Structure 1
């Protein structure tokens, strides 16, 4: 995956998580839904796995880390990035 022309080295789970959130940009995605879709959990579980992966994704996104926002007590949201001016 590339971000601003620079390659991003993502694990499969990081990619699946980022893809899920980005495909629902602007929408708060519930923790339990993410855990089912990305990790395949079939029951409600208490785990910090999701939070750890979001933290790692934010680190890899660097200056774009704000794209992944927490909806406290509910889940996560991928905020649509502001348009970037491109010099031609």
Structure 2
């Protein structure tokens, strides 16, 4: 049963689309179909593990949380200075 948890939504859709296209959700032209957050986290963890990385759900959620925080004025100024140095 544990091995089925490692199969991604992308993998299942790719396998079933040629065999039974009517049963596979199609992506609309404006973006991807909406996936539940848990499924997206699982997809990211599966991709990381397939690349040999030791990643779990908590790691992904922590990273997302970190990127949701607003930057302070000082952090924005530091980024701006760094960007100027790179050009």
The reply to whether TM is greater than 0.5 is no
Tell me the TM-score normalized by structure 1.
0.27
The structure whose residues are more often helix, as a share, is 2
Structure ID, larger Rg:
2
Q: TM-score, normalised by structure 2?
A: 0.27
Q: By percentage of residues, which structure has more strand?
A: 1
- Identify the structure with bigger relative contact order (alpha carbons < 8 Å, sequence gap 6+): 1
